[in-house]
Amino acid sequence: MSQARPRDPAEPGSGSARGIPEATVARLPVYLRALTALTERGIATASSEDLAVTAGVNSAKLRKDLSYLGSYGTRGVGYDVAYLRYQIAREIGLTQEWPVVIVGIGNLGEALANYAGFSSRGFRIVALVDADSDRVGETLGTLRIRPLEDLQDLITEHQVSIGVITTPAGSAQSVADRLVAAGVTSILNFAPTVISVPSGVDVRKVDLSIELQILAFHEQRKAGHAGALDAADVESA
């Protein structure tokens, strides 16, 4: 466990010690975005309360989260926005550029390929791959769509460690297998299916219809909604 004594940001390894809670890791990008927003507003120093409001979290949680990285604030003053922003970017690994491959160039894959928010945050899409021979050869932005057979070579050539799957559910597992075999160790899966990977490979899943279903669950329980009556009918039947 970590010692109670104050940590010095200059002490090598102090801030990057293992054991940053997953919940904290998931919020670091949110803080990064909030700091960017403050920078754009010309704000150089911000209190944990300012930052928390911008990020949409509670300030005690924010201070606790930041404390896992080190002591980057000044008591009585707050945080230097530019400095904290750099420290968080470094912690996440955004001081380097991450080459990314997208497999499955349907509507969603195409939208991601064109999404400016990736490149502006340290990710560079270096290859687009599709199994459909009709789409192969087509150019999207500056990239030509490549066949699945080229996947291994593309990953090796660009030293890709992060892959994005935007194929239909049926192809997702075999694509994941190929990505892993080629050396990819992080996968962002948009296909509506569970994929299995060896330990050591991280998978995150984004599921658009699941998000809507969670909203529907709560919506159904709100008073005044027509659905609430329907549900009661089913129940007493």
Partner DNA sequence: TAGATTGTTAATCGATTAACAATC
Examine residue 82 and tell whether it contacts DNA (CB under 7 A).
Answer: no
Q: Which two tokens stand for residue 203?
A: 């998978």
> What's the closest the beta carbon of residue 43 comes to DNA, in angstroms?
13
The piece of 72-80, 126-134, 144-152, 220-228 that touches a copy of itself (CB under 8 A) is 220-228
With CB under 7 A as the contact rule, the residue among 31, 79, 98, 190 that binds DNA is 79
By CB under 7 A, tell whether 71 contacts DNA.
Answer: yes
Q: State which residue, 24 or 54, has the beta carbon closest to DNA.
A: 24
Q: Which residue has the tokens 């890791």?
A: 25
Binding segment for DNA (CB under 7 A), chosen from 56-64, 89-97, 142-150, 228-236, is 56-64
Closer residue to DNA (CB): 51 or 136: 51
Token pair for residue 48? 């944990």
User: Mapping DSSP to helix (H, G, I), strand (E, B) and coil, where does residue 97 land?
Assistant: coil
Token reading at 186: 């992080």
* Binding residues among 47-76 for a copy of itself as defined by CB under 8 A: 54-56
Closest CA to 100 of 45, 165, 36: 165
